[in-house]
Amino acid sequence: MGVLLGLFVVAGFCGLGMAVMSGSSQSGPSIEARLHDQAVNIQYTKEELKEKATRLEEIAGHREIAAVLKQKDEAKLAEAEGIAVLEEEVTDAQGEVDAILLDFEEYRQKYRDNERKLAIGEILDLSATKGSSFKECKVLAISPLHLRVMRSAGPVGIP
């Protein structure tokens, strides 16, 4: 009886092993099918890992580019600050130039007024440009638009 029981147990294990290996059991897929599924999953995971590694390399490259761009932005900001300082200096210098030009215009007007006053009463010979009747002309007045002189025939204005 023990031998028969032993044969029964061995036959049961052999049948169970064959059922698992063949996939004919109703409890789920066979080990071969599960191994095949896991191999496919491993291959898919490897491909996904390669894609992510490639993406990480791209991201690292983008980070390097971002660092370079950040340095350039900082350099541009520094240049912009320098330009702002220079523009302020130019504005200050332009104000000084405008003040100097205004002073010069005042000086030039005073100089012209003084020279015009000094020229009144002088005797001029304008015959070379105006003709013989303007040989001895006495300056009566000078303005920016004309010269008033007294000639032998009477006073006249010359533009």
- The pLDDT tens digits for 62-117 are 999 999 999 999 999 999 999 999 999 999 999 999 999 999 999 999 999 999 99
Please indicate, yes or no, whether residues 111 and 40 belong to a single structural domain of this protein. Answer: yes
Residue-range definition of the domain harbouring residue 156? 120-159
- 63 part of a folded domain: yes
**The pTM is what?**
0.46
State the burial class of residue 126 (Cβ atoms within 10 Å of its Cβ: 0-12, 13-18, 19+): middle
Please indicate, yes or no, whether residues 115 and 128 belong to a single structural domain of this protein. Answer: no
Please indicate, yes or no, whether residues 157 and 131 belong to a single structural domain of this protein. Answer: yes
Please indicate, yes or no, whether residues 69 and 145 belong to a single structural domain of this protein. Answer: no
Please indicate, yes or no, whether residues 42 and 91 belong to a single structural domain of this protein. Answer: yes
Closest CA to 123 of 153, 150, 158: 150
Asked whether residue 7 carries a pLDDT value surpassing 90, the answer given is: no
pLDDT, position 20: 66
- Weakest-pLDDT range from 10-14, 63-67, 92-96, 141-145: 10-14
SS3 at position 134: helix
Please indicate, yes or no, whether residues 108 and 44 belong to a single structural domain of this protein. Answer: yes
Please indicate, yes or no, whether residues 77 and 132 belong to a single structural domain of this protein. Answer: no
pLDDT, position 25: 47
Please indicate, yes or no, whether residues 61 and 139 belong to a single structural domain of this protein. Answer: no
